[in-house]
């Protein structure tokens, strides 16, 4: 089993314990994942050779419902990382009050090195190795880093073949033709946009001209750039793994997105000047949005941050050490479990529709997402100002209270508490 989960994301949890009424036994249960499985996935490569990739699925908790969380394909994936992300999913689902527990999966692979055929065989292989653990009432995967609706389409098809049944609710983030919902691919950025709009005045004042820098120009980062651009924000810098681009007057986001769609990377941008990736994090902007990988803002660079607020669109982009530094300098951080929860919220809508054999309009999905994001953002903001605690702590306290309530309602807690008195 992975080490004690409180070592990484758990630091956020520990910070919220002073503000939460929670039984010791609940904490003991949260400390370790319910299950943690590592498999080896053999894949026939195009050149005829056989490669074997390590694959993972960690279910952290299922008290509030079937476990939910994405699958990532990345060279850096480890069991430890997947367990940590599963832990965060439990809290993200609880914070948004979704009827889900938390899980995460992954494959240690550099997906850029694989052909489409190899990727398909790997995706199907992941499902083949883990099918016993998955299902609409058990554990429901979704896209994450470097996986998309095509990958979910392959996975869902493979699962149906194994189970000899049509089970679209077993995966979310599928292509629309296979039961996916319009709006799922923009759900993370849409959710982040609602959170920013809701908290913007409080965090950065009412200035008419607002500036933002976005690290990460993939699915969430590029779509958020468009939404902010359309809403009148000046997007002064964006970056991906190939380049970082700056224009103090505001970048032409539609042109940059066209360029990235056509060439596959930001490098050689049609407008703006190229800067170093580190410079982007240190720009004097109202809002800094890390939307790439975990650990981007850390002990080494947190002191350079000049933004007034940070929105964590990636999972875990600000380390606990950086949090302390930012806090002491008055930089507010909107935490990942709130800022990027739009994705799993629309996954919930997809799961509900698949189970009911229903299809909502794109408008209904968008409206319900906005309502849920605004409601929970307000709750986090109110708790934060009521108790004088950072937004992150407030978010973890709210999630923890919901989780504790469910865990205690299963009866185990009262059993433990009264245990000593029983004959």
Residues of this chain that bind ligand GLU (CB under 6 A): 68-70, 92, 142, 144, 172, 315, 340, 343-344, 347
Token duo for residue 19: 């503000």
Are the CB atoms for 69 and 90 separated by under 8 Å? no
Intra-chain end-to-end CA distance of the chain, in Å: 34
**CB-closest chain residue to ligand GLU:** 70
Are the CB atoms for 151 and 143 separated by under 8 Å? yes
Return the number of the residue (70 or 125) whose C-beta is nearest ligand GLU.
70
Are the CB atoms for 213 and 288 separated by under 8 Å? yes
Return the number of the residue (16 or 347) whose C-beta is nearest ligand GLU.
347
Return the number of the residue (172 or 186) whose C-beta is nearest ligand GLU.
172
What is the pairing mode between strands 234-239 and 244-246? antiparallel
Q: How far is the CB of 144 from ligand GLU (least distance, A)?
A: 4
364 part of the active site: no
Radius of gyration in angstroms for the set of CA atoms belonging to the chain, rounded to a whole number? 21
Q: How far is the CB of 69 from ligand GLU (least distance, A)?
A: 5
Q: How far is the CB of 154 from ligand GLU (least distance, A)?
A: 17
Catalytic residue among 68, 92, 104, 260: 104
Q: Please give the Cα distance from 319 to 325 (Å, whole number).
A: 10
Q: How far is the CB of 250 from ligand GLU (least distance, A)?
A: 29
- Does residue 164 sit in helix, strand or coil? coil
Return the number of the residue (317 or 343) whose C-beta is nearest ligand GLU.
343
88: nearest Cα among 35, 30, 132: 30
282: nearest Cα among 299, 300, 298, 305: 305
What is the pairing mode between strands 309-311 and 287-290? parallel
Q: How far is the CB of 122 from ligand GLU (least distance, A)?
A: 18
Buried b / exposed e along 241-251 (16+ C-beta atoms within 10 A): eebbbbbeebb
Return the number of the residue (215 or 340) whose C-beta is nearest ligand GLU.
340
Residues with catalytic annotation? 104
């Amino acid at each position: 089993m992975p080490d004690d989960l409180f070592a990484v994301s758990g630091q956020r949890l520990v910070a919220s314990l002073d503000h939460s009424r929670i039984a010791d036994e609940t904490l003991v249960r949260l400390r370790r994942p319910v299950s943690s499985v590592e498999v080896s996935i053999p894949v026939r490569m195009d050149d005829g050779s056989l490669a074997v990739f390590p694959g993972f699925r960690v279910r952290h908790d299922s008290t509030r419902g079937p476990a939910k969380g994405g699958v990532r394909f990345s060279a850096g994936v480890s069991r430890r990382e997947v367990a940590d992300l599963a832990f965060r999913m439990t809290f993200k689902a609880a914070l948004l009050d979704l009827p889900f527990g938390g899980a995460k999966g992954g494959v240690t692979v550099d997906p850029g090195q694989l052909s489409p055929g190899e990727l398909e065989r790997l995706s199907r292989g992941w499902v083949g190795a883990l099918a016993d653990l998955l299902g609409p009432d058990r554990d429901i995967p979704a896209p994450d880093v470097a996986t998309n609706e095509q990958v979910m389409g392959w996975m869902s098809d493979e699962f149906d073949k194994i189970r000899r049944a049509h089970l679209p609710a077993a995966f979310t983030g599928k292509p629309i033709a296979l039961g996916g919902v319009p709006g799922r691919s923009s759900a993370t950025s849409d959710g982040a946009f609602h959170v920013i709009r809701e908290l913007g005045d409080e965090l950065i004042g009412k200035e008419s001209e607002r500036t933002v820098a976005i690290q990460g120009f993939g699915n969430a980062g590029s779509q958020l750039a468009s939404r902010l651009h359309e809403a009148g924000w000046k997007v002064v810098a964006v970056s991906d793994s190939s380049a970082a681009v700056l224009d103090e007057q505001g970048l032409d986001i539609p042109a940059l997105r066209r360029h990235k769609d056509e060439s596959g990377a930001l490098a050689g941008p049609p407008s703006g000047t190229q800067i170093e990736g580190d410079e982007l994090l240190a720009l004097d902007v109202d809002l800094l949005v890390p939307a790439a990988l975990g650990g981007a803002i850390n002990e080494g660079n947190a002191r350079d941050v000049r933004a007034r607020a940070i929105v964590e669109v990636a999972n875990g982009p600000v380390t606990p050490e950086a949090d302390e530094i930012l806090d002491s300098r008055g930089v507010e951080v909107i935490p990942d479990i709130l800022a990027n929860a739009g994705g799993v919220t629309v996954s919930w809508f997809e799961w509900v529709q698949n189970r009911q054999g229903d299809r909502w309009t794109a408008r209904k999905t968008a409206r319900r997402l906005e309502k849920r994001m605004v409601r929970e953002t307000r709750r986090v903001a109110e708790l934060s100002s009521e108790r004088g605690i950072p937004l992150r702590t407030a978010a973890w306290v709210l999630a923890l209270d919901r989780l504790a309530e469910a865990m205690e309602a299963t009866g185990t807690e009262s059993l433990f508490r009264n245990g000593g008195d029983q004959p």
